[in-house]
């Protein structure tokens, strides 16, 4: 199968923009209530388990069946401890920075970071690849921490536009640089498994700041992530 290339015409995202009727994003922050973390995780799991059991019962499922009896608990633990663990700020990656002693002044790129998230409109998966690049402002970061930053923001109910901006802004904050590029190429199960049922379409989004707004540097970044 021919590799799908990410087009050069992909539009950079501004965190102040709104994205149409289906993807309205008034802020790059995930919308959370002030009391979002007043409740202990164990209590959240108990409450979600109870509510999900009721949903299954409403659907007519027999929860006395061996295959279904543990599902409410499994779903509750998965929501709190795994797929939505990025909502909790205590799970934010603590990135250790290192001095750029080798005076590396070109872009550093980490491409093809696999991510799994969930659409906040239907709570079904979004998955794909994230490509991240930056120019050092005097500091560098361990490569695995870039992956951890991506996973932290992916593990919450999301829209792809917000996820793109959050990763870009976090890279700027952590690295104390204003030169960051982020491209996401993703599949949306809310498009593929329901509604229009299109299993072939993919969605691209991008965040470019500082030097990455220069067309030559942007092209260099995109050419690299499209290379085999």
Contacting residues for 197 by C-beta, under 8 A, at least 6 apart: 191
66 lies in some domain? yes
151 lies in some domain? yes
Residues 102 and 201 in one domain: yes
pLDDT tens sequence across 134-164: 999 999 999 999 999 999 999 999 999 999 9
Q: Say if residue 72's pLDDT is above 60.
A: yes
What span, in angstroms and rounded, lies between the C-alpha atoms of 54 and 59? 9
Report yes or no: 126 and 158 within 8 Å, Cβ to Cβ.
yes
Helix (H, G, I), strand (E, B) or coil at 12: strand
- The mean per-residue pLDDT over the stretch 55-66 comes to 98
Predicted confidence at residue 26, as pLDDT, reads 54
This prediction's pTM: 0.86
* Active site amino acids: 119-122, 160, 188, 190
Report yes or no: 109 and 224 within 8 Å, Cβ to Cβ.
yes
Residues 106 and 174 in one domain: yes
Give me the domain span that covers residue 204: 95-226
117 lies in some domain? yes
Residues 162 and 71 in one domain: no
Mean pLDDT is lowest, of 15-24, 61-70, 125-134, 188-197, for: 15-24
What span, in angstroms and rounded, lies between the C-alpha atoms of 72 and 111? 36
Residues 100 and 198 in one domain: yes
Mean pLDDT is lowest, of 86-90, 126-130, 132-136, 198-202, for: 198-202
Q: Which residue has the tokens 């590029």?
A: 181
13 lies in some domain? no
């Amino acid at each position: 199968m021919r590799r799908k290339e990410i087009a050069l015409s992909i539009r950079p995202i501004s965190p102040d923009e709104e994205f149409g009727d289906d993807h309205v994003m008034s802020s790059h922050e995930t919308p959370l209530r002030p009391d979002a973390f007043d409740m202990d995780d164990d209590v959240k799991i108990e409450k979600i388990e109870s509510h999900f059991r009721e949903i299954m019962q409403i659907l007519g499922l027999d929860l006395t069946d061996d295959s279904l009896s543990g599902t409410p608990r499994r779903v509750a633990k998965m929501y709190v401890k795994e797929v939505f663990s990025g909502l909790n700020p205590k799970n934010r990656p603590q990135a250790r920075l290192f001095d750029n002693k080798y005076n590396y002044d070109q872009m550093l790129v980490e491409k093809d970071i696999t991510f799994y998230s969930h659409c906040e409109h239907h709570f079904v998966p979004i998955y794909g690849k994230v490509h991240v690049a930056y120019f050092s402002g005097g500091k560098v970061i361990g490569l695995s921490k870039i992956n951890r930053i991506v996973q932290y923001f992916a593990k919450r109910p999301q829209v792809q536009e917000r996820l793109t901006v959050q990763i870009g802004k976090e890279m700027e904050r952590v690295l104390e640089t204003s030169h960051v590029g982020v491209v996401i190429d993703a599949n949306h199960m809310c498009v593929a498994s329901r509604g229009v049922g299109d299993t072939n379409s993919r969605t691209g989004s991008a965040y470019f700041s500082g030097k990455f707004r220069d067309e030559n540097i942007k092209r260099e970044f995109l050419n690299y992530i499209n290379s085999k």
